[in-house]
Amino acid sequence: MLAATVRVTRDLDEAEEAVQDAYLQALKRWAGDGVPDRPGAWLTTVARRTALNGVRHREVLRRKLPLLVEPDAAEPPEPAGPIPDDRLRLVFTCCHPALAQEAQIALTLRLVCGVATADIAHAFLVPEPTMAARITRAKKKIAAARIPYAVPAAEDLPARVSVVLTVLHLLYSAGHTAASGDDLVRDELTGRALDLARMLRALLPADTEVAGLLALLLVHQARRATRTDDAGRLLRLEDQDRSRWDTTMVAEADRLVVEALKGGPPGRFGVQAAIAALHAQAPSYAETDWPQILTLYDVLLRLWPSPVVALNRAVALAMVEGPEAALAEIARLEDDGRLAGYRYLPAAKADLLHRLGRDTEAAEAYRAALALSDNAVEQEFLAARLSGA
């Protein structure tokens, strides 16, 4: 709806307002008239008409009306251009180089992907008010600088791909493990990210990082059904039933990983996909090639020096050199401070301490992780671990 409406307004704020107005009209009219056969088309048509009325009332844009008026249709026609899908087109459009990369990512996740501001803040490891302010500033900059809604030309796509890949990765992550709520997974977000990644792959088949991202998402999606038990309780990777993993997805991901790594110098997503593929191909958790995974994390940390990557590397290090070596890395991350509000830091620490028999310290770390978690499934898991510590 937003992507279709912004083609009329050429302004994201106005398109958002028109979409919200369409929802309000639906709430009022559908209660009496009933839900139409094609509610999405109804909402899109109303939003576009509302937006067009706003354009008509602005004298400065009156001369542009012949270019903006389109015949009413149940489904708006696709504009010509290199990107075939409205959603992916708007992702590329919002990833505008006039904005800082972080602002591009946050704005796109909020406007186009429908990710809650709190979840975006969690992904960036900042407080929610901070992220809300960043999104507002990005929208204001678009308005103040008169940055127009314009779909990038084919030759401009490669310059925006890196940010688009990050958007899709964070979109999938927001659904793969929900930061809050009663459910561990939000299928609407993971499904949307996977769809967009496949479209991006079709659009840029020679881009090795696009192949890497799609492979990474496929591996995660392949084990979707085993991440919780029949009662909805969280299962660790070592406790999951690997016979239920989707082998077709894993095989597709493996082919993409090979393509990504053979196509040139390794990129961030290609290396992450290679790590995920090693996990997926191992006959069991104990038989995982941990030395190779640790080597890949060393490569990834050079490509992407993120504290989250360093934490994941510490987990692999524990499997190769033991918990004590990993705890030393955890201590450095605690001193660093960037993961102060990241629940997986104390959770990983607690697990390592528990493996060493330091249960009093482990219990303290589990309590710290529990205090940082807003997801009910994770809370139940951490509480169970705490009771056993």
CA dihedral 339, 343, 344, 349 (to 10 degrees): 90
Residue 59: pLDDT over 60: no
What DSSP designation does 62 have? G
Is there a domain that residue 355 lies in? no
For the segment 124-136, the average pLDDT, to the nearest whole number, is 92
Is there a domain that residue 15 lies in? yes
For the segment 126-135, the average pLDDT, to the nearest whole number, is 92
Q: How confident is the model at residue 71 (pLDDT cuts 50, 70, 90)?
A: very low
Residue span of the structural domain in which 6 resides:
2-68
The number of domains in the chain is 1
Tell me how far the alpha carbon of residue 134 is from its chain's centroid. 18
For the segment 29-44, the average pLDDT, to the nearest whole number, is 92
Helices and strands per DSSP (H, E), number in the chain: 19, 2
For the segment 187-216, the average pLDDT, to the nearest whole number, is 95
Q: How confident is the model at residue 73 (pLDDT cuts 50, 70, 90)?
A: very low
The pLDDT value given to residue 149? 67
- Residue 376, amino acid: A
For the segment 130-153, the average pLDDT, to the nearest whole number, is 82
Is there a domain that residue 57 lies in? yes
Q: How confident is the model at residue 147 (pLDDT cuts 50, 70, 90)?
A: confident
Is there a domain that residue 56 lies in? yes
Residue 326: pLDDT over 60: yes
The pLDDT value given to residue 80? 46
Q: What is the pLDDT of residues 173-195, one digit of tens each?
A: 999 999 989 999 999 999 999 99
Residue 77: pLDDT over 50: no
Whole-number percent of the chain with pLDDT over 70: 92
The pLDDT value given to residue 234? 95
Is there a domain that residue 219 lies in? no
Whole-number percent of the chain with pLDDT over 90: 67
- Helix ranges (H only) for the chain are 2-9, 12-33, 39-56, 65-68, 86-94, 101-111, 117-124, 128-144, 157-176, 187-203, 208-222, 247-262, 268-281, 290-303, 307-321, 323-336, 344-355, 359-372, 376-388
What is the H or E stretch that residue 122 is in? helix 117-124
Q: How confident is the model at residue 389 (pLDDT cuts 50, 70, 90)?
A: low
Distance of alpha carbon 41 from alpha carbon 1, whole angstroms: 9
Q: How confident is the model at residue 330 (pLDDT cuts 50, 70, 90)?
A: very high
The pLDDT value given to residue 215? 98
Is there a domain that residue 64 lies in? yes
Q: What is the pLDDT of residues 82-109, one digit of tens each?
A: 787 778 888 988 888 888 899 999 999 9
Q: What is the pLDDT of residues 351-369, one digit of tens each?
A: 999 999 999 999 999 999 9
How many CA atoms does the CB half-sphere of 230 hold within 13 Å? 0
Is there a domain that residue 347 lies in? no
Is there a domain that residue 14 lies in? yes
Q: What is the mean pLDDT of the chain?
A: 89
Distance of alpha carbon 260 from alpha carbon 379, whole angstroms: 37
